[in-house]
Structure 1
Amino acid sequence: MDEPSVDRQAVHEELDRARATFHGLLDEATKEDLRRPTDGTRWTNEQLLFHMLFGYLLIWPLLVLLRIFGRLPRGASRAFARLLNAGTKPFDVVNYLGPIGGARVLGRCRMGTVLDRVIASLHGRLDAERESDLALAMHYPTRWDPFFRDVMTIADLYRYPTQHFDFHRRQLTLPHEDR
């Protein structure tokens, strides 16, 4: 039998670590801390925390797209990725503005609750994945995110949000934050 395409236990542990870290950051931050600018972005700490949460929220639609394109000829996802790469500038605007509104709408308390639900659903979905589905792959718009590779599998998608989370965690300017 082939080796599993993803170490499910390691992904579960990464998801749980990120969830615990996120709650710790939210619990320890004051209102002033959350309003402080981040290091290397135009967002506040609260807005960047929402952006980090959003990386997990995106996994569901990305999984749906990959399940569709992963069953089509590879050229279909290549063309789709090229189209998305051509729209990078509008994406960047939406990507910037989304956390500004999202942080206002959810606030610190609901961000933690939403992350808990998303992580729980990802745990369940990962456990239910068939090995053959974990290997489904499609092309991605590499200009949209530094963690998108030209071709990604469903297994890769389960790792993506924590890579995104860990990268942005270093940009937070919260007290006691070890970068």
Structure 2
Amino acid sequence: MTDQQPVDRAAIAADLERARRTLHELLDTACATDLDRRSHGTRWTNEQLLFHMVFGYMVVRRLRVLVRVFSRLPDRVGQLLARVLDAAAPVFHEINYRGSCLAATVFDRHRMGRHCDRVIAALQRSLAKETDANLRRSMAFPGRWDPFFTNVMTLEQVYRYPGKHFDFHREQLTLE
């Protein structure tokens, strides 16, 4: 028997919902001029940065699968993958930048909110089905890819990651 505390799914779910609502508030109050303005400390416009913030949630859907797979493999396999990915960090950062620029033309100010709603709803459904044992599974991560990635992350931390990412970038928006 283990003395671990149950994972606080309600707190994770509330944070997902908070970000969803915040995104809608930002989109609803921003005018075209605001969205076209450069953000602070990034190469993105506010609209591109907002998409990048949503993209953080999209990534979690894929990371869940990776954690489930790699947590069942020997640790050295995941560590090797993390080292390879860390070595490719400069390429990743350029793709991340350009990908968000391009994707924001599809998931623009008119579509982004609905897309975020669908992504977060899917995360909410999967979170509700996760067992505590699954949420405690972990794998090595490429720590150089994102300031909120650690060298090893549990599935619970992966679910919590996009809220930190969202809040960090929220401070870089230059919306009036």
TM-score (norm 2): 0.97
Q: Which amino acid aligns with 2:37?
A: R
Q: Which residue of 1 aligns with 2:98?
A: 97
Alignment match, 1:50: 51
> 2:58 & 2:5 partners in 1: Cα distance?
29
**Who is 2:5 aligned against?**
3
**Could you say which residue in structure 2 is the equivalent of 1:32?**
33
SS at match of 1:155: helix
What percentage of residue pairs aligned between the two structures are identical? 52
How many residue pairs get aligned? The number is 174
| Equivalent-residue separation in structure 2 for 1:36 and 1:2 (angstroms) | 47
Match for residue 173 of structure 1? 174
Deviation at 1:52, TM superposition (A): 0.2
Q: Provide the rounded CA distance (Å) in 1 between the counterparts of 2:107 and 2:11.
A: 29
Ranges of 4+ aligned residues in structure 1 off by more than 4 Å: none
Aligned residue number for residue 160 of structure 2 = 159
**Partners of 2:132 and 2:30 in 1: how far apart?**
40
- Give the structure 2 partner of residue 78 of structure 1: 79
Q: 2:140 maps to which residue? A: 139
Code of the aligned partner of 1:149: T
**CA separation in 1, counterparts of 2:106 and 2:124?**
26
Shift of 1:109: 1.8
TM-score (norm 1): 0.95
Opposite residue 27 of structure 1, the aligned amino acid is: D
Report the secondary structure of 1:152's partner residue. strand
Distance 1:169 1:2 in 2: 33
In structure 1, C-alpha distance between the alignment counterparts of 2:90 and 2:124, rounded to whole Å: 33
The one-character-per-residue Cα deviations of 1:29-60 (angstroms, maximum 9, x if unpaired) are 11110000101001000000000000000011
Question: d(CA) in 2 for partners of 1:2 and 1:81?
Answer: 27
CA distance in 2, matches of 1:87, 1:48: 22
Aligned partners of 2:49 and 2:78: how far apart in 1? 30
- Aligned equivalents of 1:152, 1:106: Cα separation in 2: 29
Shift of 1:2: 3.0
Q: How far apart are the structure 1 equivalents of 2:99 and 2:26?
A: 21
* C-alpha distance in 1 between matches for 2:53 and 2:132: 28
Q: Per-residue CA shift, 1:50-72, capped at 9, x if unaligned?
A: 00000000011111111110001
Unmatched runs of 5 consecutive residues or more in structure 1: none
User: Structure 2 CA distance, aligned partners of 1:69 and 1:118?
Assistant: 23
